[in-house]
Structure 1
């Protein structure tokens, strides 16, 4: 058991923002439990999740402050300001115990800051991981493992674990042979209450069973992963038996029951609400993995009839979950009698200068890295015309995706199937220059944080997929020339303002060409002609492996077949990072090695001309 002490971290740093900061962040005071005991005590528990390597409010790929359509801010430096404001507010309350701070995983992967200290200057060489340094500075009490913790291998993960001043928990990360936990399953924190016996808080950590698929190369024959619900049923009673008055689960598993891997594993990917409903003895759940903002959900446990409060604070440090648990002594032991949660918005506060100071050198080093040369390109590649003609830029993306999948399938039943890949023109402004290439150049071509999957599809399904994609084009006749806005971004019932570029997919082959024409004089649904693989017409029952991003595979854009096709590869590796790794390792990008003109637009069979 560890003793958290009494308010030692609450007063160690300067007050930043105070009550005004909480109000601006959306804090709503919740009335205390309206029971008869005047000695009701409120325990506050704060939570983050899916930080993904974000300390600063900075977009390393744009070399500018982070911003999005909702004007969210990101990073632990801003979270720290909110944490301090909460701690100071609680410190002013006469009977309130020190707040706890938890995390629900996916911490050490996701930004160039995280990548740099895993691959370029690995922490195994002695440098403290920036996320460890930041979380130690802020004063976390415990964290759960996320699936992305395993992306860089067990050596990096174990080093990160040793650098933390708090426990990294994973009750369902089990030894391959013995089934025993290979990380601490839970932690006990004793929080002091003035004039009363301490409250013992049990924190159970559970990670995502999908790691067995997504990071198979790093964990097979070493670590296995039991189900969220199944392991909670084992460990929650043990945490209670160990003396916990309160049990909080930090679970890297989404709220609502679903699995991106279908029935490839016997246990679900997302099961936090199901766990709360079916496992007695849980008081609160900090939810992670799904990147959703869920301020509060109350679930009634089917066995005890007690309510469980769950909250998920979006991602990347955009929000801080705030749990309020009201406790009273029942037969001499503390018991939760009231529960609420909410989220605070990090975009309303300034960054904590103490966290900034700790990580400024790391931050500057990574900015220099992303703007530095990592390779060369023999010829310029532009995405400016990618929506209406076959370009080297999109062929490069498809080559990287298909190559990664092909290598991963060696030794599997799908190893001999032809590999195709799908890419969309995300950014018409993207351009890889001839000569020196930087990380930022590559990031401009792939602006989303998508990860790579692969599915099996038939020739008939590929034909249908391409027909669906071709609705992106407006119907025209004649050879042109047509300005691009007369041809692209056609309105549809689901996109009345025009189909966005990111919902137009092109498809290409890896070792042999996939060729086709798109006749945009024809109506939607009958535009794909001359579909062939290696010069031979594609048969309806012909089998292919298709590399695709997670957005599309999960149903984004509502393309046919891909979301229900069997998944044969899913290691949750970012496609953008695969591009960076390729250029870093090879040193040279030569479009001549992967670019051929395999698709084109026609009108009644004749080529057409489209101008910018």
Structure 2
């Protein structure tokens, strides 16, 4: 490789002198089937990307304790190798949310020691990466250890600490060589900008007592991209941990991929966060969205879903112009592991390299932790009948009641808010919690509470409770009296927003509009309506609190930090789990009206739990969900 040219400083918003090139050769293949036969001064650059791996390195389902072939980084490794062996030159990126999600992925996040995710990134030769919101679930020290161990440049350009210092370098400048169609090798500089979800500053605020300052993604790109160009970048790639939403136009929008793609100077974009895939049927064609060609606002783009089920690929045509490369077209696509080729079986070398860490992860999930007297499932979470959610709420309630004993809050009734984490939705009919009664292992508690959220306590009034539960009431579709077989839930509702408050029952009028305060008819405690001025102590989690569920002045200090998952561990250690069976929701009677609940086929074993609805089994739909007719 030829010696790198030195960078010169320039009076731009981001000084070019801060952008140091990272040099590494890569394999070059002059033939290019994608863009036709290359000529002198033409080249093909292939960008490969993962996103939202959520610790899925080896294609293993740690909740059910069995292999899950065809997914995970090990299944994508042979795909990467195949594409690297094909025409064109390649670069490999990750778009965040890689640490949280599995015991293997989270190993090393709690303290010193090797991190399996970082080891996998080194083994597969990643060139650059950014961070997603869940990567911050373990605090700033964890992400910095990951960045130090991973090998590639880990960049983050829209998040800084309160004192103005960067959490990580905002950009990277990769120096490579690439051959044109005549076989002549030329230097190539690729600038990489990383952008994370703005909400991380709120959702993980408890990890940053000094605070964080976040810039909207598009605004950050408008600042950073010109600096990369001034530093010599001929190709600019943006790794944006954001979904694709045409309505996301506000400065701090969560899913601002389209706004970022519109920024002048961006050549290619990797999106993520929503666990959807692009290009493909997850996103309909629109003015700025071209799912056939894989372009957003005319820029080549990809979004590879979640869990390592697909590899995002962006193909770029390069031409030399005035002694520099420029992008002359491109498109995005997805590549999935091929079962026939054996790719879905995974990369044996990576599996062997991670085998010690995998053994430790399996030993952890198989640790006995107690037993449950009842099946813990989320099949009927939409009906407020979910033992898996009720046991989480009970664990939080008991811990909090003991924590405030002897304090000024000891006399207040303790309630507890919880929501289902695994209850269908986009992830399909297999994405439900269904733990049989009997012995429990640590993996079962991981299923009940998969996130490292912190327990939070609030003092709320009866009026506050109504406002809290009104959000849950709005999740249901509006049903006309006498309607037959309408969907119970409103379109697009995500189960984890469906809060249930153990200790009270929300009585909901499904005939009322979702935005009508009268839809939540009553909030009942022990059969009596809760007075607006009544005061309660409520257990919840840090994520829900950060989302603005309650005013900051209502927060009650706890004697020590504790995660919601730790309260489950404590409850399981007390004795067999047997959560209260009271329903969190009650629907105003609607004689002659029926609604359809989509749930898992495994719900058939628990229909007695919803006997008051006289459920009728209508079979499974095209996606595999069980359709139950409910009589309201």
TM-score by length of 1: 0.69
* Structure 1 contact 432–441 (Cα < 8 Å) conserved: no
* 1:449-489, Cα deviation, whole Å (9 max, x unpaired): 8989999975656787787899999x9xxxxxxxxxxxxxx
Deviation at 1:30, TM superposition (A): 3.2
Question: Which range moves more in the overlay, 364-373 or 191-200?
Answer: 191-200
Matches of 2:433 and 2:302, distance apart in 1: 38
Match of 2:440 in 1: 437
* 1:291-323, Cα deviation, whole Å (9 max, x unpaired): 1100289959xxxx9942121111111111111
Matches of 2:202 and 2:494, distance apart in 1: 31
Question: Which range moves more in the overlay, 338-347 or 577-586?
Answer: 577-586
Match of 1:7 among 8, 27, 49: 27
* Structure 1 contact 77–356 (Cα < 8 Å) conserved: yes
Deviation at 1:220, TM superposition (A): 3.8
* Structure 1 contact 167–187 (Cα < 8 Å) conserved: no
Change (3 A) 1:506 1:432: farther
* Structure 1 contact 288–312 (Cα < 8 Å) conserved: yes
Matches of 1:294 and 1:546, distance apart in 2: 40
- Where does 1:300-379 land on structure 2 (aligned, <5 Å)? 307-346=298-337, 348=339, 349=343, 350-373=345-368, 375-377=369-371
Match of 1:246 in 2: 235
- Where does 1:531-610 land on structure 2 (aligned, <5 Å)? 531-533=523-525, 536-539=528-531, 580-584=565-569, 588-590=573-575, 595=580, 597=582
* Structure 1 contact 55–75 (Cα < 8 Å) conserved: yes
Q: Give the length in aligned residue pairs.
A: 513
Matches of 1:504 and 1:289, distance apart in 2: 17
Deviation at 1:536, TM superposition (A): 5.0
- Provide the secondary structure at the position in 2 that maps to 1:337: strand
* Structure 2 contact 455–564 (Cα < 8 Å) conserved: no
Matches of 1:270 and 1:254, distance apart in 2: 4
Unmatched 5+ residue regions in structure 1? 11-27, 68-72, 91-95, 409-415, 476-489, 554-561, 570-576
Matches of 1:256 and 1:31, distance apart in 2: 30
The answer as to 2:89 corresponding to 1:104 is no
Matches of 1:467 and 1:180, distance apart in 2: 41
Matches of 2:257 and 2:122, distance apart in 1: 27
- Where does 1:382-461 land on structure 2 (aligned, <5 Å)? 382-383=375-376, 393-400=388-395, 420-423=416-419, 429-433=434-438, 437-443=440-446
The answer as to 2:275 corresponding to 1:281 is no
Match of 1:483 in 2: none
Match of 1:64 among 56, 63, 66: 66
* Structure 1 contact 467–524 (Cα < 8 Å) conserved: no
Match of 1:492 among 477, 485, 489: 485
* 1:493-549, Cα deviation, whole Å (9 max, x unpaired): 1269xxx9979978334xxx325789xxx9977999974347752247989898899
Deviation at 1:201, TM superposition (A): 1.1
Match of 2:254 among 266, 269, 274: 269
Matches of 1:501 and 1:293, distance apart in 2: 18
Matches of 2:470 and 2:167, distance apart in 1: 47
Matches of 1:492 and 1:345, distance apart in 2: 37
Matches of 2:315 and 2:531, distance apart in 1: 61
- Provide the secondary structure at the position in 1 that maps to 2:486: coil
Deviation at 1:132, TM superposition (A): 0.8
Change (3 A) 1:248 1:596: closer
Change (3 A) 1:599 1:419: closer
Matches of 2:228 and 2:399, distance apart in 1: 43
Match of 2:373 among 371, 375, 380: 380
* Structure 2 contact 201–214 (Cα < 8 Å) conserved: yes
Deviation at 1:187, TM superposition (A): 2.8
Matches of 1:362 and 1:158, distance apart in 2: 20
Match of 1:75 in 2: 72
The answer as to 2:49 corresponding to 1:47 is yes
Match of 1:144 in 2: 130
Unmatched 5+ residue regions in structure 2? 1-20, 290-295, 404-411, 424-431, 513-517, 553-561, 590-609, 616-632
* 1:198-248, Cα deviation, whole Å (9 max, x unpaired): 121111122222111011011241543222111111111111111111111
Change (3 A) 1:396 1:343: same
- Provide the secondary structure at the position in 2 that maps to 1:197: strand
- Provide the secondary structure at the position in 2 that maps to 1:201: strand
Change (3 A) 1:239 1:400: farther
Change (3 A) 1:290 1:417: farther
The answer as to 2:34 corresponding to 1:30 is yes
Deviation at 1:417, TM superposition (A): 11
* Structure 1 contact 287–311 (Cα < 8 Å) conserved: yes
TM-score by length of 2: 0.67
Deviation at 1:580, TM superposition (A): 4.1
- Provide the secondary structure at the position in 2 that maps to 1:84: helix
Match of 1:159 in 2: 145
Change (3 A) 1:442 1:312: same
Deviation at 1:285, TM superposition (A): 0.7
* Structure 2 contact 242–274 (Cα < 8 Å) conserved: yes
* 1:38-65, Cα deviation, whole Å (9 max, x unpaired): 5321111111111111111110110112
Matches of 2:588 and 2:159, distance apart in 1: 57
Deviation at 1:392, TM superposition (A): 6.1
- Where does 1:191-206 land on structure 2 (aligned, <5 Å)? 191-193=177-179, 194-206=183-195
* Structure 2 contact 35–317 (Cα < 8 Å) conserved: no
Matches of 1:187 and 1:31, distance apart in 2: 26
Change (3 A) 1:313 1:402: farther
Matches of 1:514 and 1:58, distance apart in 2: 39
* 1:60-117, Cα deviation, whole Å (9 max, x unpaired): 11011227xxxxx321111111000001112xxxxx4x31101111111111212343
Question: Which range moves more in the overlay, 247-256 or 129-138?
Answer: 247-256
* Structure 1 contact 171–183 (Cα < 8 Å) conserved: yes
Matches of 1:472 and 1:66, distance apart in 2: 39
* 1:234-275, Cα deviation, whole Å (9 max, x unpaired): 11111111111111111112222567xx99xx6222212102
- Provide the secondary structure at the position in 2 that maps to 1:368: helix
Matches of 1:343 and 1:52, distance apart in 2: 19
* Structure 1 contact 398–422 (Cα < 8 Å) conserved: yes
